[in-house]
Amino acid sequence: MRVRTIAAMALGLGLTAGSATAQPASTAAAYPKNDYAKADAWLCRPGKANDACAIDLTTTVIKADGSSTVESWKADPKAPIDCFYVYPTVSTDPGVVSDMTANAEELNVVKQQLARFGSKCRIYAPLYRQFTLTALRALVEGKPIAGAADPAVRQVGYNDVVDAWNHYLANDNKGRGVVLIGHSQGSGLLQRLIPAEIDGKPVQKQLVSALILGSNLPVTKGGDTGAFKSIPTCKTADQVGCVISYVTFRDTLPPPANTRFGKVAQADMEAACVNPAALLGKSDLHAYLANGMAIASSSAPPPEWVKGKPNPKTPFVSVPGLISGKCVSKDGFNYLEAHVNVDPSDPRTDTIAGDVTGPGGAIAQDWGLHLIDANIAMGDLVEVVGRQAKAYAAKK
């Protein structure tokens, strides 16, 4: 599989930022509007039975000396703000557009990228009919599925997200502050929704922040706005109405010339990079890593977290002080550079999974650590959102 081509297409799935285009009547008939008043149109929402975010996030915290503690977690049903999330390209449904059934891939991605925010916000995560991984792979193999190139078909997912957002505003928001969260295709869709529905509109005053992860958000070179005209990049953890955006690469595998991550097409702009740990005055990244995760598309075994010790049984592992990060500008790319702090006296693993691999297990360097963009700084993102929630409440 030529993952470089998939990366290019995945980044393009949000299409261009701006207003929606009209669908031909045939497409509109094939994909009628979803009813977001129905609970089963949502992965997560307050009061939903079988809420995909009501899951076990217990974490084993492994210290530098190899000792560990177990960290429990619980959601706050009385959280003062909301979070609205749009998930990345995960669906393996047949065809170009996914259905509205939550399968294992949708359930897993909210576990990895979203549920932990439930300690700071009430979570709303709509299902939407996204452009599928199945269709992407078919395009790469030169066997495109009928309709894959039709802009009206690719419009379906965006229309769903707009409908879900408007339903949330009309029926659930009730004037509360809200954080928008997306990754990859989800971030691309938010990069369209925000200018069309929020930026410069009355509802902008309720925007606590936007987390545009794993996607290239254009900002003016040396500036803090661009694609979003009046929503700047965040400069402090207590700033509200701002955006956090980054893509992640290892310091040992920087972006190659062929990558689509970390740069934008506009000559007068650059890709935003906001390190959430730096907003908190730190260099170490507070990662929450999936326990048992091997390198994607690889037969490699999961890491042994502590040499000579059995792996913990909790769904997540945290390794304080092991991974640090900083935003860098190198060779025309802006990105979050992740560094594993190798220490011979530290018995913890020096291998952090998260790379995409191609045939034969070769690492697809142009993807960077796309698979764990959210995980690698999850603790920092959650802490920043908590501080922004307090700052938002103080301003009201």
Give the pLDDT of residue 20. 41
Mean pLDDT calculated for residue range 262-286: 97
pLDDT band at 356 (very low <50, low <70, confident <90, very high): confident
What pLDDT score was predicted for residue 18?
36
pLDDT band at 235 (very low <50, low <70, confident <90, very high): very high
pLDDT in tens, 92-105: 999 999 999 999 99
For residue 8, what pLDDT is reported?
39
- The mean predicted confidence, pLDDT, of the chain is 91
Residue 4 scores a pLDDT above 50:
no
Tell me the per-residue pLDDT of 210-232, one tens digit each, with 9 for 90 and over.
Answer: 999 999 999 999 999 999 999 99
Q: What confidence tier does 1 reach under pLDDT thresholds 50, 70, 90?
A: very low
pLDDT for position 136: 81
pLDDT at 6 over 70: no
pLDDT in tens, 136-178: 878 877 889 988 889 998 899 999 999 999 999 999 999 999 9
Could you read off the pLDDT of 310-331 as tens digits, one per residue?
999 999 999 999 999 999 999 9
pLDDT tens track for 9-31: 444 444 333 334 455 555 656 89
pLDDT recorded at residue 26: 58
How large a percentage of the chain has pLDDT more than 70?
90
The predicted structure's pLDDT at residue 360: 78
Residue 12 pLDDT: 42
For the segment 263-284, the average pLDDT, to the nearest whole number, is: 97
Q: How confident is the model at residue 311, as a pLDDT?
A: 94
Of 2-6, 226-230, 386-390, the least confident: 2-6
Q: What is the dihedral sign for C-alpha 90, 103, 94, 153?
A: negative
pLDDT of residue 302: 74
pLDDT score for 253: 96
Q: Please, which pLDDT band fits residue 42 given cuts at 50, 70 and 90?
A: very high
